[in-house]
Amino acid sequence: MNERSVLEFIRERGPVSRAQLSRDSGLSKPTVSQALSSLEAAKLVRAAGRSSGGKGPTAVLYELNARAGWVVGLDVGADRVRGAMADLTGQIAARADEAAHASGATALIRQVAEMAHALAADAGVPARKVTYVVVGSPGVFEPSTGHLALAHNLPGWGRQGVFDDLRAALGVPMRFENDVNLATIGERWHGLGRDVDNFAYLHVGTGVGLGLVLHGELYRGATGAAGEVAYMPIATADPHEPANLRRGALEASLGAEGVVGAARAAGMRGRLTPKAVFDAARRGDVVAADVVAVVARRIALAVAAIVPVVDPELVILGGGVGRNGDLLLAPLKQELRALSPFTPRIEVSALGADAELHGAVSMALDAAQDRLFERTGDGRGVAS
C-alpha cells in the first residue's frame, strides 16, 4: 500500500519533502500527497518545518510522529532482566536492569510485567499508550501451542500457559522471541551487521546459540529452531551423555558451566565463574590462560562447523564469554586457520549486553508500526 511505503521511507530517511518522497520512492506526486494526508490524519507523521537554502520556494518537510506510539523491549535471562522503552523513532526514554527472580515462572512473569509498567511510568507515558512489547528469552516459541521449548536455564519458563499469563499481566499486545535472534536483529539494526547481508551472531554465555542473517533477513528455519547450535554433537567427550543431550553437547563444553568445568579440570580452585577465569588470565595467571586457550579452541571448532554451511561474511561473537575478545580472538583465529579453509571476518560485538535490547526494541517498532498503520483508514487516528 502507498501509505505504508511512504511511512517506511520517512522512518528510514527522516524529515523529507513531498518532492523528495516522490523522486526517491518512485511514487507520483499525487500518490505521495494522498498518502501523506492519510498518515497526517492518523497522526503518524507531522510537519517538521520547511526546507532551507537553494533556489525557489521552500517546501514543507514531514517526519515520523515519534509520540504516536511507544514500545517496550525486555530481555529475560537466568541472571538479569533488562528492559527499555522507546518512542517510534527508537529513541530510548527509560531503561531498567534487575537481578532475575528466576526461581519459577510465576515470580518471573510478575517481575517482567512490573518492569514494563515501571518503564512507562519512568518515561511519563500512560501504560495504555504502550503499543507493543517484545520479550526475549532463551528457548524456541511455538505459536501454535503457546509453548516455549528448550528454555532449560529458566525454571518453569517452558510450562504451558506462560505466554498467556505474561500477556495478561502486561495488558498490551506482545510476542516472545529467542534472545539470540533478538541480539542478531540488534546487530543488524545498530551493530556490526548493519551493512552486512550475510552474517552469523554466535552467543557464548550461560547458554550457546546462533543467529543468522541471510540475504538481509533473519533466518528462522522450518520450526523456528535455526541456530540452536548448542545441540551440535561436538566439543565434548561423549555427546550421548544424558546431561549433554538435554542441554546440548556444545553448550555443555562451551557455555558457562563448561568454562567452569574446564577451569576445575585444569586445577583452578575457589568460587569460579567465567568472569573469574578471564579476569585471572588478564592478571597473568598461567593456568587461567590455558583455560582461555581451551575455550578459544572450542569456539573455533563451533565456527568451523557453522561456516561451511552458510558461508557468512562476518561472525560476531557475543555473550558473557564471547565478549572477551581481547583474550579469545587471537587464539580462536589461529585455531580456525588450522581447522578450516574458510576464515570469515570474526569480530566481537560492540553492543555488548545491549544487543538483545536493541533487537527487542527494533522488533517491537516494526510490530507497532503495523498496528498503528491499520488506523490510517478508519478515521480514528492516534493520540499524540
Number of structural domains, the chain?
3
Residue 231 and residue 139 share a domain:
no
**Hey, which bits of the chain come out as E strands?**
16-17, 45-50, 60-64, 70-76, 80-87, 92-99, 130-137, 140-142, 147-149, 174-178, 199-204, 208-214, 217-218, 314-318, 345-348
Q: Name the percent of the chain lying above pLDDT 90.
A: 60
> What does the alpha-carbon distance between residue 124 and residue 68 come to, in Å, rounded to a whole number?
14
pLDDT in tens, 227-286: 999 999 887 667 777 766 677 889 989 999 999 999 999 999 999 999 999 999 999 999
Task: Please indicate, yes or no, whether the overall pTM of this predicted structure exceeds 0.85.
Answer: yes
**Looking at the predicted structure, is the pLDDT value of residue 156 above 70?**
yes
Residue 328 and residue 225 share a domain:
yes
Residue 171 and residue 137 share a domain:
yes
Tell me which of 48, 64, 80 is where a domain ends: 64
List the one residue out of 30, 40, 4, 32 whose CA is nearest residue 381: 40
Residue 339 and residue 201 share a domain:
yes
Q: What is the CATH number of the domain that holds 114?
A: 3.30.420.40
**Looking at the predicted structure, is the pLDDT value of residue 311 above 90?**
yes
Kindly state whether residue 20 falls inside one of the protein's structural domains: yes
Kindly state whether residue 161 falls inside one of the protein's structural domains: yes
Q: What is the CATH number of the domain that holds 17?
A: 1.10.10.10
What is the domain range of residue 20?
2-64
> What does the alpha-carbon distance between residue 226 and residue 224 come to, in Å, rounded to a whole number?
6
Kindly state whether residue 384 falls inside one of the protein's structural domains: no
Chain position carrying cell 528455519:
221
When mean pLDDT is compared across 219-228, 284-293, 356-365, the lowest value belongs to 219-228
pLDDT in tens, 162-202: 889 999 999 999 999 999 999 999 999 999 999 999 999 99
Would you state the pLDDT for residue 54? 56
Residue 367 and residue 299 share a domain:
no
Would you state the pLDDT for residue 244? 67
pLDDT confidence band for 140 (50 / 70 / 90): confident
Question: What's the mean per-residue pLDDT of the chain?
Answer: 89
**Looking at the predicted structure, is the pLDDT value of residue 378 above 60?**
no
Residue 362 and residue 333 share a domain:
no
pLDDT confidence band for 381 (50 / 70 / 90): very low
pLDDT confidence band for 158 (50 / 70 / 90): confident
